[in-house]
Amino acid sequence: MAREQSLANLLRDVRACRICEACLKDGVRPVLQAHQDARVLIAGQAPGRRVHESGVPFDDPSGERLRAWMGVDKPTFYDEAKIAILPMGFCYPGTGESGDLPPRPECAEAWRDALLNRMPAVKLTLVIGQYAMKWHLAPPRSESLTNIVRAWKDYRPACLPLPHPSPRNNRWLKTNPWFESDVIPYVRRRVRQLVR
């Protein structure tokens, strides 16, 4: 009970966070979900504009694809006691020349370790995108996202590196058909084992 209260207090503080307020043109709105009993953790990048507006993690086409990859429905996906969602940056970072800006680094520095330490039941971390991979997998700097994802078997059973499920990655998925034929069936089996 003390651990749960401690996580509840931490989540309250995270949701009230204003560390990056001066840097975020669209304002702060931390978006995450966590629970001490969650067995699957989704470690993503940062909320996009649509998620920033709704306040619901992966409430966009990326979320639809991610749920399909995982083989879960929305009620399961949003059951915080089953699935935690901790992006590297909890607030929408804004838009740059070629899409959304990177997650603000202050967020992970301030909150990530404390949150992860309060989720002892996590058995699988789905590591989405290069910023999450750098934090959770510490690959060599020269390693491409494709090569990291291709080496997915090296990281299991605790972690699975995934490309971002954004529609912007349709081309990547088309040129890397092994991802859907080899990795996705394993993702679905592993998630099913953990969130029954």
Task: State the pLDDT confidence band at 97, using cuts at 50, 70 and 90.
Answer: confident
The residue type of 130 is Q
* Nearest alpha carbon to residue 34 among 136, 154, 121: 121
With beta carbons less than 8 A apart as the criterion, state whether 161 and 6 touch.
Answer: no
Q: How many helices (H) and strands (E) does the chain have?
A: 11, 6
- pLDDT at res. 4: 47
Range of the domain at 37: 2-195
Residues 138-149 have a mean pLDDT of 90
Mean pLDDT of 37-66: 96
Whether the Cβ atoms of residue 58 and residue 85 lie closer than 8 Å to each other: yes
Q: What are phi and psi of 184, to 5 degrees?
A: -60, -45
Domain count, the chain: 1
CATH code, 114: 3.40.470.10
Distances (CA, A) of 158 to 76, 122, 186, 195: 20, 9, 13, 15
pLDDT of residue 196: 87
pLDDT digits (tens, 9 = 90+) for 98-132: 788 999 999 999 999 999 999 999 999 999 999 99
Answer yes or no: is pLDDT of 1 > 50: no
How many angstroms separate the first and last alpha carbons of the chain? 23
Average pLDDT over residues 23-50: 95
Reported as a pLDDT band with limits 50, 70 and 90, residue 93 is very high
pLDDT for res 89: 97
